[in-house]
């Protein structure tokens, strides 16, 4: 207690000196400010049981409604996922899918029927989902030329694009690089009750990509003209900014399993409608064991079907409430724990 007195009196004395002696200004005495004396007003949070409980309960109360809300939103989303890479290979090729896909002569058309489980309100988004496809591989990600895509002037900037940079006679490939070269080329045709569903391919790419990253005066050139053909070919008369499939593809995926937008269906589908999908199964995922899926999905405010987030919110929220309750119970049952281990160890110390 005496130090308290000492310091406070010290402060008082200092204060008196400060006010009384302006003459002593030039002394080496440190000037008083709350900053230099480390006495700034501050809030000093302490983990009291009250605070602990309050924060746990608070997190619980916030999280559980969010969890329910997102689960509910996810519930409203109707999603049809259909894997077709196996089914679309004829029986006789099932042991050598690679030969089937690499053979230009084989018939790649394949028809699948999908049942709409619930009513799907437009727009219905069509995705293709690839598996085990490393679009995030460093060699792959870097194998593009943004400058070339943007303007015709830098058509020859293809240094990053090797080995898909130039043709044999040294003229630049536009768009160059492995990403463009391996453009996805499966196509889907949809019909319900023998009525063909229109697939809109407009506005499936990001606006910024279309406007800024892909030039409206850049046209495909020498594309897929080499001996090895990777994926889809491009219509050389359409500028890159309008090749939305390419733009979507060029926006590389983060993980080896990814979905990409294929198009939109602008009409509603009723429950139990049977959709006939005619698939051109061109793309080779067989060599690396990648699955191919066709996804039809509606969206809600949280996007596509996403139960994970809701469940996760609910779990963590519940956990927090549980913690809060157990804390309260502890507090009620044993306000001051006798079984405090540190307590005991000190006692033991004095005993010996």
Partner 1 sequence: MPEGRRRGIHFSKIYSFACCRSKFEEQHAQIGKRGYSRVVYVNDPDNPEAVQSKYRGNYVSTTKYTLANFVAKSLFEQFRRVANMYFLVVACVSFSPLAPYSALSVLGPLLLVIGATMAKEGVEDWRRRMQDKEANNQKVKVYGRNYTFNETKWMKLRVGDLIKVCKDEYFPADLILLSSSYADGICYVETMNLDGETNLKLKHSLEVTSHLCDEKSFQKFRAVIKCEDPNEHLYSFVGTLCYDGKEYPLSLKNMLLRDSKLKNTEYIYGVVVFTGHDTKVMQNAIDPPSKRSKIEKKMDKIIYVLFSVLILIAFVGSVFFGIETKKDISDGRYRRWYLRPDDTTVFFDPKRALLSAFLHFLTALMLYGYLIPISLYVSIEIVKVLQSIFINQDQDMYHEETERPAQARTSNLNEELGQVDTILSDKTGTLTCNSMEFVKCSIAGTAYGHGMTEVERALARRRGDALPEASDVLSDVQGHDGDPVDSRKSIRGFNFRDERIMNGKWVKEPHSDIIQKFFRVLAICHTAIPEENKGAGEISYEAESPDEAAFVIAAREIGFEFFKRTQSSIWLWELDYETSNRVVRKYEVLQVLEFSSSRKRMSVIVRNEENQLLLLCKGADSVMFGRLSKDGRLFESQTKDHIKKYAESGLRIMVTAYRELGEEEYRPWEEKFQKAKTSLIADRDISVDELANEVERDLTLLGATAIEDKLQKGVPECIEKLAQAGIKIWVLTGDKMETAVNVGYACSLLRQDMKQIVITLDSPDIDALEKLGDKDAIAQASFKSIGKQISEGISQINSVEESAEFGLIIDGKSLEHSLKKNVEKSFFDLAKKCSSVICCRSSPKQKALVTRLVKLETGKTTLSIGDGANDVGMLQEADIGVGISGVEGMQAVMASDFSIAQFRFLERLLLVHGHWCYRRISMMICYFFYKNIAFGFTLFWFEAYASFSGQPAYNDWYMSFYNVFFTSLPVIALGVFDQDVSARFCLKYPILYLEGVENLHFSWPRILGWMFNGVISSIIIFFFTTKSMINQAFRRDGQVVDFEVLGVTMYTCVVWAVNCQMALSVNYFTWIQHLFIWGSIAFWYIFLVIYGSLPPNVSTTAYRVFTEACAPSALYWLVTLFVVICTLLPLFSYRAFQTRFKPTYLDIIQRKRLEDLETQNSSETRPFKQKLHRLRERLRQREL
Enumerate residues 294-333 that contact partner 1 by CB under 8 A: 297, 299-306, 308-309, 312-313, 316, 319-320, 323, 327, 330
| CA atoms of 242 and 204, how far apart (whole Å) | 11
Closest distance of CB 318 from partner 1, Å: 13
- The verdict on 351 binding partner 1 (CB under 8 A) reads no
- The verdict on 146 binding partner 1 (CB under 8 A) reads yes
Closest distance of CB 111 from partner 1, Å: 25
**Cβ neighbours for 166, distance < 8 A, ≥ 6 positions apart:** 158, 172, 173, 176, 222
Closest distance of CB 84 from partner 1, Å: 17
| Residues in 231-260 that interact with partner 1 by CB under 8 A | 251-260
- The verdict on 7 binding partner 1 (CB under 8 A) reads yes
DSSP at 96: -
DSSP at 68: H
Total interface residues for partner 1 by CB under 8 A: 110
**Which of 145, 148, 158, 182 is in the footprint of partner 1 by CB under 8 A?**
182
Task: Specify the residue for token string 């409608």.
Answer: 273
> Is 175:272 a contact under the CB 8 Å cutoff?
no
| CA atoms of 10 and 22, how far apart (whole Å) | 19
Task: Pick between residue 117 and residue 337 the one whose CB is nearest to partner 1.
Answer: 337
| CA atoms of 192 and 248, how far apart (whole Å) | 27
Closest distance of CB 270 from partner 1, Å: 20
Q: Which stretch binds partner 1 (CB under 8 A): 89-97, 144-152, 186-194, 215-223?
A: 144-152
**Which of 22, 41, 113, 194 is in the footprint of partner 1 by CB under 8 A?**
41
DSSP string, 201-230: -TT-S-HHIIIIIS-TT---BSTT-SSS--
- The verdict on 291 binding partner 1 (CB under 8 A) reads no
Closest distance of CB 245 from partner 1, Å: 14
In order of 21, 105, 130, 132, 249, the CA distances from 259 in angstroms are 77, 29, 6, 12, 10
- Contact string 90-119 vs partner 1 (x = CB under 8 A): --------x---------------------
* HSE, side-chain direction, 13 A CA sphere, residue 187: 11
**Which residues share a beta bridge with 81?**
295
Task: Pick between residue 217 and residue 340 the one whose CB is nearest to partner 1.
Answer: 340
């Amino acid at each position: 207690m005496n130090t308290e007195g000492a310091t406070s009196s010290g402060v008082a004395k200092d204060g008196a000196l400060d006010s009384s002696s302006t003459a002593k200004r030039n002394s080496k005495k440190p000037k008083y400010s709350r900053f230099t004396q480390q006495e700034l007003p501050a809030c000093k949070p302490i983990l009291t049981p009250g605070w602990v409980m309050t924060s746990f309960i608070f997190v619980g109360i916030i999280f559980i409604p969010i969890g329910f809300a997102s689960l509910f939103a996810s519930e409203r989303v109707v999603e049809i996922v259909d894997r077709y890479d196996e089914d679309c290979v004829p029986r006789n090729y099932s042991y050598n899918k690679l030969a089937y896909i690499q053979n230009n002569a084989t018939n790649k058309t394949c028809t699948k029927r999908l049942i709409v489980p619930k009513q799907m309100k437009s727009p219905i988004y069509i995705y293709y989902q690839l598996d085990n496809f490393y679009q995030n591989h460093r060699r792959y990600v870097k194998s593009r030329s943004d400058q070339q895509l943007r303007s015709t002037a830098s058509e020859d900037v293809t240094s990053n694009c090797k080995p898909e940079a130039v043709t044999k006679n040294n003229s630049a490939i536009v768009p160059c690089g492995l990403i463009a070269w391996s453009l996805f080329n499966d196509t889907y045709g949809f019909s319900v009750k023998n009525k063909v569903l229109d697939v809109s391919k407009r506005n499936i790419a990001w606006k910024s990509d279309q406007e800024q990253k892909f030039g409206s005066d850049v046209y495909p050139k020498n594309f897929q003209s080499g001996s090895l053909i990777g994926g889809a070919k491009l219509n050389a008369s359409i500028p890159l900014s309008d090749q939305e499939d390419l733009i979507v593809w060029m926006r590389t995926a983060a993980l080896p399993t990814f979905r990409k937008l294929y198009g939109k269906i602008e009409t509603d589908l009723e429950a139990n409608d049977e959709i006939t999908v005619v698939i051109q199964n061109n793309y080779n995922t067989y060599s690396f064991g990648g699955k191919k899926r066709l996804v039809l999905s509606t969206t809600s405010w949280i996007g596509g079907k996403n139960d994970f987030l809701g469940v996760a919110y609910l779990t963590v929220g519940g956990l927090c409430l549980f913690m809060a309750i157990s804390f309260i119970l502890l507090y009620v049952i044993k306000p001051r724990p006798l079984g405090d281990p540190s307590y005991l160890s000190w006692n033991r110390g004095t005993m010996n």
